[in-house]
Amino acid sequence: MNYQQTIDYLYKQLPMFSRIGTAAYKSDLHNTIELCAALDNPQTKFKSIHIAGTNGKGSTSHMLAAILQQAGYKTGLYTSPHLKDFRERIRLNGQLITQEFVIDFTEKTKALTAKIQPSFFELTVAMAFDFFASEKVDIAIIETGLGGRLDSTNIITPILSVITNIGWDHMNILGNSLPKIAYEKAGIIKQNVPVVIGEYLPETKDIFIEKATKENAPIHFVQDEYRVNHKSISAQNMQCTVTNIMQNITEEFLLDLNGIYQSQNLCTVLCAESILLNQGFLLTEEQEKTALANVKKVTGLQGRWQVLQETPTLVLDVAHNEAGIAQVLMHLQLVYPNKPYHFVIGMVKDKEIDAVLKMLPADAAYYFTNAHIPRALPAKDLQDKAAVFGLTGTYYDDVNAAITAAKLTAEKDAVIIVCGSVFLIGEVNY
């Protein structure tokens, strides 16, 4: 098979959560264990950092990878889903995995794949581990796909675990209460491995403490150790002043990730970095500051408050659940107060759609659309649901047509926000 045939095989032959939802989710680790055993357990051949959380885990993964890469470490990065190219999921020092490796890996695992029928995600995780082992990376940042305890990535024993936050998402799989969701995320906490908790809630803190105590894992609660004193946001970057409460040290940071929510992710990264320093990693302040100011360039991260144009301002953001949309609205009110807002929005069927719609401003203009995957809620259905909450607008079957319409309608000082689904952002032409 050539590369395109290989990608078609991966997408069409294997159950893929991003396309079909829970039918593709395997609630155990057996397939991943069997795949990796056949590959001589590549996950045991490199150091790793494991990152879970409802929101922010992708940005946090990229920020940590950027710092380690800038410091000269050969750095692997596994994240999901991708926006444009399958190979975005597996990177080495910011570069995409080679097409040749994808082809060769798929060929050599074909017989076993036919036998055990893994999901798309399970096979992709094994591919990432095999690639990182073959490249002899110094460190790999591994982002969970969904949850933690039963996530395919959870066969690694990392040197550090990170849980960014807990929020309402994937309740049909992870549980219908925050403590249940926290329990699943806490499943990545390992014996004697330090864990960083980016944000806790009164009902989730004890879940983390109980699991960390059971595993004898040193636990760090970021919001008790770091504080953001000030942030200033422009169209392209954000300046933050952060205090390390434990050491009473205050520092200034410039981030090229300028979503308001990135200040919390920054604190999580700084806490994780302090643990890595204690473990013997050599990371200078200059390397850290340079990396954080250039995360997009260093690691290729896209879709996080990504400003494509100004006059009118056009922004892409992968926010797709209550917590993510709340941050988008907060950013708009802080940086673009009293401006006309135009939302190009599409969602998938298994999200808490009503909960998101009731948060959105009734006085904004709406352009309802959908990604071209089976999980997507048809644009007309989204329009009908939105009308219940007083949100009105036209529907479009293609996100780019919706954006074109918004550009033609929007005032010069308006902000056009494209959000609601990672897969929708992936279909935007830019």
pLDDT digits (tens, 9 = 90+) for 215-248: 999 999 999 999 999 889 887 899 999 999 999 9
Alpha helix (H) ranges present in 76-203?
Answer: 99-108, 110-116, 120-134, 171-174, 178-185
Q: Are strands 238-244 and 226-233 parallel, antiparallel or unpaired?
A: antiparallel
Question: Comparing C-alpha atoms, which of 114, 143, 120, 127 is closest to residue 48?
Answer: 143
| Residue 428 pLDDT > 70 | yes
For position 20, what pLDDT does the model report?
45
pLDDT band at 168 (very low <50, low <70, confident <90, very high): low
For position 169, what pLDDT does the model report?
56
Residue 117's φ and ψ, nearest 5 degrees, are 50, 65
Q: What is the tens place of the pLDDT at every residue in 400-420?
A: 999 999 999 999 999 999 999
Q: Which domains does the chain have, with CATH numbers?
A: 3-299 (3.40.1190.10), 306-426 (3.90.190.20)
Question: Using CA atoms, how far apart are residues 157 and 147, in angstroms rounded to an integer?
Answer: 17
Amino acid of residue 267: C
Q: What is the tens place of the pLDDT at every residue in 113-166?
A: 999 989 899 999 999 999 999 999 999 999 998 778 999 999 999 999 999 988
Alpha helix (H) ranges present in 71-109?
Answer: 99-108
Question: Comparing C-alpha atoms, which of 189, 185, 120 is closest to residue 147?
Answer: 185
- Interval 371-392 mean pLDDT: 96
If phi > 0 it is left, if psi is from -120 to 50 it is alpha, else beta; for residue 189 that is beta
| Residue 178 pLDDT > 90 | no
Sign of the dihedral through C-alpha 269, 270, 272, 277: positive
pLDDT band at 24 (very low <50, low <70, confident <90, very high): very low
For position 330, what pLDDT does the model report?
92
For position 170, what pLDDT does the model report?
47
